[in-house]
Structure 1
Amino acid sequence: MTVKKTFSRTTALIAGTAMLLINGVIYAWSIYSMPFGAGFGWSNAQLGACFTVMLASFCLGGVFGGAVANRRGVRVSIPIGGILGCIGFVLCMFLQAHLIWLLFVSFAISGIGVGFVYNGVISAVVPRFPDKKGLASGVLLMGFGASSLVLGGLASRLIASPGFGWHLTYILTGALLLAAAFIGLPFVLPPRVDRDTHAAAPARGLTPRQMLRTKRFWLLFGSAVIGTGFGSGLIAHASYIFVEGGASESVAALAVGLVSVMNGLGRIVFGMLNDRCGFRISLLADAVLYIAAGLIAALVLGSSAVVLVVVMMLIGACYGAVPTISASLAEEFFGPAHYGRNLGIVNLSILVGSFASTAAGAIQTSTGSYAQAFYLFVGLEAVALVLILLLGRTKSIEY
């Protein structure tokens, strides 16, 4: 058996992080959608619905991308994702006021493409770090989460530039998605093995169907849905929460950036904690900090802007922990053989949790405050804490 030369795992991690940094532009939706309200007269509700469609498409793209990667390899799934991502942004060039359906179609295509790349990069890179799965997934997802802060700021300036505008910004974004997939691909490809008669045994693991029959999957999925909903539901309204807490709009904008930074750092810190202490400690720490931060935020809302900013930063860090630990556990629990497909299914928790922001907005509209939303998510996180305790008592799965 001979192994063909490939790039080191550190190089693969750096390249994968750069690829996900570019593909994370889907989380800069609030910036990319800015021209459409005034330009085409589309409401915030319509634009918000488009974001939900894009996020759903991203999750489904992860599932389909995992299936393609499992069958044909990431050397096929990642380029497909780059092409679809590019097509979606370029199609927006043809938008007109009466063609809002095209906006939904365009971002559904881009969302699927990003899901392909996201799944392909993680499933190619994380298994190369059997000793540091949490750290590897944390670094990768830090890049994905940092995109809205890094590339979102650049896109905002380009869109506002008279000599550039949103049309060229969309074309440039599509080109970046395409280039990232094709240029980054060789660096993240796993080692290729030529098998002879003495080849090693194939990788083992549960199929998606087998995974769905396990108690471990549903306990992990349930806790991930709640954890994702807690973070995304409140961070989506972060600037409004800070203003309600007494911060000025300029301070609120700065605080939102700090929450984003903590979200990225949380992915690395909790990834390292997962590697060092195991999933029981890392998940329990995430849930306990979530509950403590949520309770404090609800109690100080309207009385202490400084404390509110600090606990919202903590919520950002806890939110970053959820996909990082889930990406690591998808292989640890269910094996490497079908990791890409299983990861896509586990990440459907992002889709379910995304509806939490709608609930938080509805609570604020009906009560005039976000305090009750914090109490709601704290209560749900208490349920997640029970699920995590039950997950910690389950036995390892033989495969």
Structure 2
Amino acid sequence: MSRSPLQLFLPNRWVLAIAAVIMQLALGSVYAWSVFLNPVIALYHVTRIQANLTFSIVLLALGSTAGFGGYLNNRFGPRVIATAGGILYGLGLILATFAAPHLFLLYLTFGIISGIGVGLGYIVALAMLIKWFPDRRGFISGLAATGFGGGAVITGLVAASLIKSIGVNSTFLCLGIVYLVIIVIVAQCFRTAPDGYAPAGWIPSARQQTDRSVREYTLSEALRLPRWYILWLMLALNVTAGVAVISVASPLAQKFPGVAPVTAALIVSDIGIFNALGRLFWGWLSDGIGRPFTFLSIFVIQAIVFALMPSVSNFTLLLIPAAIIAMCCGGGFGTMPAFTADFFGPKNAGTIYGVMLTAWSAGGIFGPMLITSFGTTTNPDYVTPLYIIAVIMLVSAALPLVARRLARRRGDIVEVTAAPGH
């Protein structure tokens, strides 16, 4: 099929997708924080909860920035904002090299400056790709989220080796330079899709036309509905559970099975891989069973896994519950954008979801604080908080059904069953 003259001058959208995924891989390296946790404790001579607050600050800055990053993207374009995000992220890591022995400087550099950079880059890539792929919106948002979730896979192993050979500060410096260069380069490929863009020859399916809210909500209208806050709470609690484990993955592996730090770093890569896969898997599954039942499954599975995790004393076996928790954590990010579009309409879903990502910040603060609040710095107790999180997940299982009931009561949701073969 021939292309229109306008389409002949448009960039290849798959090149944009590849560039966005590369950037997300670099930004997602922040999820390898647990590799730095024990070395930071030793370098700064602080408690575990004080050191782990760095990761919470990153997620706080990330979620807060994503809330208005969509607006900046619309005003200045994805190339400018993604470039700014890459510079801030890399600069934060580079400046963290000189933070010791002042922990508040680590909070400022690695925490706030890098966190703002991650937040800008994350929301820009997602918003850009959704507009370029109206025919594959669920897949492409899952792919972008997968790139972010996979960032810890490479960084977990690389950073552990670098810390052992050159120390924490030099590792921050190396990673900061590399990620700044990578993100700034790929950001130059970013472009805004034309208004109403659609790929040549694409005809929306019946599901794509009707499986949505019967009206389009603005942000202010969405914020007046109880179901927005239920979705926010669901995302926050799911982040709390996942980030709690992510933030102490390496030290937890060193305590339960008693493995060496370099070996324990494997669990960080394990979590990164399955966090990424979970974003695609649960997003794909939600198209078949619906978003409410997807989140119900995520919460129930985690309740069981968190309850069983304290009894695991073999490192290889520990990789299994860690992988499941990571899949569920990633699944929340892979599913919630579509959940938001289902309940409030796709037109303003990016803005509405951007504000909802403040739940990422809330969970990012509460999860690491909860997991490090028991025991002592030299003898942390991870068993008690794991049981607490299991109970939280079990109670949370009711929330998606409550949200669904509220939406159906107002008559806002059109439920469509796809015809065979669709």
Q: What TM-score, normalized to structure 2?
A: 0.78
**Which residue in 2 is equivalent to 1:63?**
67
Q: Shift of the alpha carbon at 1:218?
A: 1.4
Following the alignment from structure 1 to structure 2, what is the Cα–Cα distance between the partners of residues 136 and 101? 38
2:106 corresponds, among 103, 107, 110, to 103
1:318 corresponds, among 316, 320, 328, to 328
Following the alignment from structure 2 to structure 1, what is the Cα–Cα distance between the partners of residues 18 and 93? 25
1:126–1:328 contact (8 Å) kept in structure 2? no
**Which residue in 2 is equivalent to 1:126?**
130
1:125–1:188 contact (8 Å) kept in structure 2? no
Query: Which moved further from structure 2: 121-130 or 369-378?
Result: 369-378
**Which residue in 2 is equivalent to 1:214?**
225
1:267–1:324 contact (8 Å) kept in structure 2? yes
1:334 corresponds, among 327, 331, 344, to 344
**Which residue in 2 is equivalent to 1:47?**
51
Q: Shift of the alpha carbon at 1:289?
A: 1.7
SS at match of 1:90: helix
Which letter maps to 1:70? N
Following the alignment from structure 1 to structure 2, what is the Cα–Cα distance between the partners of residues 296 and 45? 24
1:6–1:190 contact (8 Å) kept in structure 2? no
Aligned residues: 385
2:293–2:400 contact (8 Å) kept in structure 1? no
**Which residue in 1 is equivalent to 2:192?**
190
Following the alignment from structure 2 to structure 1, what is the Cα–Cα distance between the partners of residues 385 and 98? 39
Deviations 1:67-111 (CA, angstroms, capped at 9, x unpaired): 2123333233222212222332333344353x4433222121111
Query: Which moved further from structure 2: 217-226 or 358-367?
Result: 358-367
SS at match of 1:224: helix
Q: What TM-score, normalized to structure 1?
A: 0.82
Percent sequence identity is: 27
1:3–1:192 contact (8 Å) kept in structure 2? no
Following the alignment from structure 1 to structure 2, what is the Cα–Cα distance between the partners of residues 171 and 327? 34
**Which residue in 1 is equivalent to 2:244?**
233
Following the alignment from structure 1 to structure 2, what is the Cα–Cα distance between the partners of residues 375 and 32? 25
2:152–2:268 contact (8 Å) kept in structure 1? no
SS at match of 1:191: coil
1:246–1:305 contact (8 Å) kept in structure 2? yes
2:159 corresponds, among 136, 155, 163, to 155
Could you say if the C-alpha distance between residues 359 and 78 of structure 1 is closer, same or farther in structure 2, counting changes exceeding 3 Å?
Answer: same
Which letter maps to 1:174? G
SS at match of 1:362: coil
Following the alignment from structure 2 to structure 1, what is the Cα–Cα distance between the partners of residues 39 and 330? 29
1:291–1:378 contact (8 Å) kept in structure 2? yes
**Which residue in 2 is equivalent to 1:200?**
none
Deviations 1:257-287 (CA, angstroms, capped at 9, x unpaired): 4333222221111121123333133222212
Could you say if the C-alpha distance between residues 309 and 155 of structure 1 is closer, same or farther in structure 2, counting changes exceeding 3 Å?
Answer: closer
What is the root-mean-square deviation of aligned Cα atoms in Å? 3.4
2:153–2:270 contact (8 Å) kept in structure 1? no
Structure 2: tracts of 5 or more residues without a match: 198-214, 414-422
2:49–2:369 contact (8 Å) kept in structure 1? no
Following the alignment from structure 1 to structure 2, what is the Cα–Cα distance between the partners of residues 133 and 43? 44
Q: Shift of the alpha carbon at 1:40?
A: 4.9
Which letter maps to 2:401? L
1:2–1:193 contact (8 Å) kept in structure 2? no
Query: Which moved further from structure 2: 223-232 or 23-32?
Result: 23-32
Deviations 1:31-77 (CA, angstroms, capped at 9, x unpaired): 45666555554554432222222221111121232221233332332
Q: Shift of the alpha carbon at 1:242?
A: 4.8
Following the alignment from structure 1 to structure 2, what is the Cα–Cα distance between the partners of residues 33 and 240? 8
**Which residue in 2 is equivalent to 1:378?**
390
2:96 corresponds, among 83, 92, 113, to 92
Could you say if the C-alpha distance between residues 131 and 385 of structure 1 is closer, same or farther in structure 2, counting changes exceeding 3 Å?
Answer: farther
